[in-house]
A and B are shown apart, each in its own frame.
Chain A
Amino acid sequence: QVQLVESGGGVVQPGRSLRLSCAASGFAFNSFEMDWVRQAPGRGLEWVALTSYDGGNTRYADSVRGRFTVSRDNSKNTVYLQVNSLTVEDTAVYYCARAVYGGSLDFWGQGTLVAVSS
């Protein structure tokens, strides 16, 4: 069965960096676009970034462009989100999700919490 497991979250100070990982299993990882979506505490969903099936095409939300980088290692069935220059506004649960049908997110991980605090 499809599984997505995020890791790498934690408590960090403003200005610092983290690398989030999402390990996939149960499907042909190298055939699917992968997305990152975040949710600040008590707030709605915010789309963050995507990477195409081969990593050759990436897209970002305006709020993170230039600070976040999405990448993937198809040999490890893992997608990454490098998050730099963190601010308190980046505090959220970060979900990875598999994209199908041109962008619909049919499987989601359980999320990893990033808390930015001094």
Chain B
Amino acid sequence: ETGVTQTPRHLVMGMTNKKSLKCEQHLGHNAMYWYKQSAKKPLELMFVYSLEERVENNSVPSRFSPECPNSSHLFLHLHTLQPEDSALYLCASSQGGVGGAFFGQGTRLTVV
């Protein structure tokens, strides 16, 4: 309905696991974003891709690895995460310099 879909909606993983979050946008936008939102904290921008190139990387630990194979898909690969990485991970997309950004419903990640 929002045009941006994220899977899975919920994920529980151990600290030694490897998993990936997926985001797909159906809006024809050319920029995609990953945000992290921890409990009772504001949104933190993690990565920005524009025209499939990473244009922002906000000091995110290397255990988070983004991938943008095309303008409609964005992945966040996770490995050896820490319990403090438990949060809501939100994907968003926007079109160039116009309009607002539209969000997916997020993946609620718990690291045990």
Genuine A/B complex: no
